[in-house]
Amino acid sequence: MIISPANTDDVADLARLLWLDTRKEKPDQRSVDAFAVELAQWWAANRQSHLAFVARLLQPEIVGMAWVALVPRVPRPGATSRLSADIQSVFVMPEQRGQGIGSALVEAAAEHATSLGSVRVTVHSGRTAVPVYERLGFESSRQLLQRAVYRSMVQTDGS
């Protein structure tokens, strides 16, 4: 298995994995190719803050991915370059799961964030993946809180 940072040549494969990861959510896109174009545009605009790591086996096809979002934090006296990181969109092809690929991807993304000076690395996990993240050293924290955003279905008529 080879874990490496993704590059622009990997966008089509990243789009395919993101597409597969959300297929139960019924994406709005008409095709994975159309989504690949949108992903390429989004990544070009967000390359400074988002990096993807990919996993390959012996063939060149990507079998897994993990993204890391880097977020600058407000400076403090004596600490003007604070950074946080969030692991996002970890996905491994179903037939490749259970081989440590996801763990290796998360480790690569977290180590990258730490090497850049991130003071914390977070992940928002689905319930079934929590034990995996705990094995990798992630812990629940009472200090890390979240507020759900509810979108109003009420539409105004402009009056």
In Å, how far are 10, 81, 136 from 102, measured between CA atoms?
18, 30, 11
Report domain extents, the chain.
2-135
Tell me the pLDDT of the chain averaged across its residues: 89
- Please answer whether residues 66 and 105 qualify as being in contact, where contact means their C-beta atoms are separated by less than 8 angstroms: yes
Q: What is the pTM of this model?
A: 0.85
Beta carbons within 8 Å of 59's beta carbon, 6+ residues apart: none
* Closest among 126, 56, 65 to 92, alpha carbons compared: 65
pLDDT digits (tens, 9 = 90+) for 21-65: 887 776 566 788 999 999 999 999 999 999 999 999 987 889 999
Pick the CATH number of 2-135 from 3.40.120.10, 1.10.10.410, 3.40.630.30, 2.40.50.100: 3.40.630.30
